[in-house]
Every structure is written in C-alpha cells, then in structure tokens.
A and B are shown apart, each in its own frame.
Chain A
Amino acid sequence: MTIYSIYVLSKAGGLIFNCDQNIPKIELEKTFSYPLPYKLVFENNRIVVSFGQRDGIKVGHSLLAINGIAVTGKQLDDGRDALKVLEDPEQYPISLKFGWPRLSTNEKIFLASMFYPLFAIASQLSPEPRSSGIEVLETSSYRLHCYQTLTGVKFLAVVDPRQTGVDALLRRLHELYADFALKNPFYSLEMPIRCELFDTHVRSALEQAERLGVANV
C-alpha cells in the first residue's frame, strides 16, 4: 500500500503545497557499444527513448547521465551536447543511465492548475443537478482522490489503487492545514505553504495512513 504524493490547491487553483512520498525510483545504468540499440529523440526538454525496448529500459525513459555525468535537457553538465556525444563512435564503449523522469516543480504547478478546470467541467457535465466535481480518478497504476472543502481548497492524494482510508487521510490533512498553516500568523492566505510544522505533520499522517492501509486489507 502506498501513497505516492499529496497536492494542495488553493481556492484559485494554484498549487500551494505538494509532497512526494516514496515515488518508485527507476534508474538503470548500462554500458553500451556502438551503435546504440535505442532510438532517442529530444522532446519536452528531455532526451527520451522513442523506440527499442530491451534490458528493462522502456519507451518513455529518459537519459539521465552519460559516463556518470548528468544530462540536463540536451546538454551534459560539462557543456557538451549529449546527442553529439552519442553519435560519435569514438566515445564508445559508453555507460548510460536511463530512468523515469520525475516531475519538475514547474510541471507540477502546471498540472495542478490543469486539474482545476477538469474538476469544474466534471461538475458541469453532470446529468444530475448539484453534482460535486471529480472525487476519485482511477487509472491502472494509481488512484487520485480529491477532497474539496467548503471554502474551495482542494486536497489531492495520488495513491496505489489498493490503498484504503484515503478519505480519512484527506480530512486529516484538512485539519492539519487549518491548524498549522492558517493558524500560523506568518502564513498569508492563497500563498504556497512553507511551514515546517505543517510539513512534518503531513509526513507523519501519511506514514500512519500507509500503516493503517496495510492493516485494513
């Protein structure tokens, strides 16, 4: 049972808090000889495997490092162009690290604000009057729970499909938000929550929910 991440959206739809809990880290490092068995393309500011799936490296994984030197966008950290290095037969044998790209903070903010209109559309599409927005969104690999308070703040939890007790967890997060964010006189409303007490309490609530989730099964 796992809780992957937590997002808190303000009334206006901005991301004001997020925290990642045990997102599986997929990283594979291998040594290759020329030519590479994968087709690599550059998209979304990342070098991504577009075709050729073998040895655990899958389509969609992105290139994280060459010979231990990290890759940012197209560039190696020592200033060389990563794609040029890969094309050069003299650089081989070469050690490449592939992995599942993590969301950057900007992407998280972007996705969080995307959820806001989805939630609104869902409530308008409803065949029944007075419908709520999206409460649970289910996929093959995770479930997204959303809890909107009467004041319009949304608490989202991305969890394993088998995780139980998520509603109670979200209500607990609401309590923590009321206590440690809103009662903190130095926290201004609608702004990102940077309160250490809130952070630690959220983490302990997550751990507790994971333990109870296991016990409930």
Chain B
Amino acid sequence: MNRSVDPKKVNSELFTLTYGALVVQLLNDLESVEEVNKQLDRMGYNIGVRLVEDFIARTSADKCYDLRETADKIQAGFRLYLGVSPSVGGWGPAGDEFSLTLDSNPLAEFVELPETCSNMRYSAILPGIVRGACEMVHLEVTSWFVQDQLRGDPVTELRVKFVKRLEDSVPPGED
C-alpha cells in the first residue's frame, strides 16, 4: 500500500460539517468568542505538530533554506489536505512574510456568521496548524487572517510571518 498513490479520500463535506460541529460545541462550552478563537488556534497547533510528519513522509519534502520554499511547501500542504490551491503572494520587502489567498475556504463552505459572533475567527485552526507544523521543522512563524470571506472580504487571506529559526531544536547532522 503506497499512500502517495492511494490517498484515503474522504468527502470534504463530512470534514466541513465535523469542523462546524466542533466550533459550535466550543462556542456553547466556552461562551466567549475570544476563548473559542484561542482554543481553535491551540487545537490547530497540536494538529500541526503531528501533521507535518505525515506531510514529510508522504511528499519526501526537502529541507527549506528560504521562506519562499516554505511557502511552496505550505501551498502543497493545502493542496494535499484540503484539496484547494491557495495563491502565494503579498511578499514583504524583506521577504520574511507572505500571504496565502484562498478564493474559497473549504472549512467555511456552508457558514454564515451570526451577528453575535462577528469577531470570531471561524477558521482559526488553520493558522494554528501552520504555526505548529513550521515549529517542528525549526521555523518559528506567526500566522493570522487578514481577510475573511465570512466577514465580507472578497477572499480569505492568511498571512504568515517568519520570526526566527529555532537553532536549538535543529537536530545534529541536519545542517
């Protein structure tokens, strides 16, 4: 069985609905939109630190020595796990930040935010995943949404900013 040839495909609607149930449950339990945002980000982080291993194993990805390579890898990750291909752009002048722009967000396909949740970061799990995954390959990044279709923006835009290289976690023989 080779996973790269035969991925276990699952209907994306099942995933979308499961994620929706998770968000609503969190909102019921925590009763604060801010808390929900934080919790989703934390969950994303925990998923990211595990998911990155699967990504490396499946794509036999090489090490990145430049943020542009990292951006390509993250883009490939979106393709692999969400079936969407975000465009990479909006590079900062120092080349240390970029945006991933999604025309449609698979997580929020059937969602309309109610008035009471106007400051909810519905897809906050995604920046968490990006942060967790990068941390495991020795890159500290911050990631946040600058545009969100759910809040009336034309596209969904995820910003990723390089903070530093985690030198102390680089295993010997890797550099």
Interface residues of A (CB under 8 A from B): 11, 119-120, 122-124, 130-134, 148-153, 171, 174-175, 177-179, 182-183, 189
Contacts and interface: CB of A to CB of B under 8 A. Distances in A.
B50 A182 contact: yes
Nearest to A120: B172
A177 B173 contact: no
B39 to A, nearest CB: 16
Interface stretch (B58-66, B77-85, B140-148): B58-66
Contacts of A151: 52-53, 56, 136-137
Given A175-B3, A189-B49, A148 B173 contact: yes
Interface residues of B, number: 22
A123, A174, A175 interface centre (most CB from chain B within 10 Å): A175
7 contacts: A133-B172, A152-B169, A153-B53, A174-B56, A178-B54, A178-B56, A182-B50
A149 to B, nearest CB: 6
Given A123-B173, A152-B170, A183-B50, 18 more contacts: A119-B173, A120-B172, A120-B173, A124-B172, A131-B173, A134-B173, A149-B53, A151-B52, A151-B53, A151-B56, A151-B136, A152-B171, A174-B57, A177-B57, A178-B57, A178-B58, A183-B54, A189-B49
A123 to B, nearest CB: 4
Nearest to A122: B173
Contact of B53 (A133, A134, A177): A177
A100 to B, nearest CB: 32
B167 interface: no
B56 A149 contact: yes
B115 interface: no
B58, B136, B170 interface centre (most CB from chain A within 10 Å): B136
Contact of A150 (B3, B50, B63, B172): B63
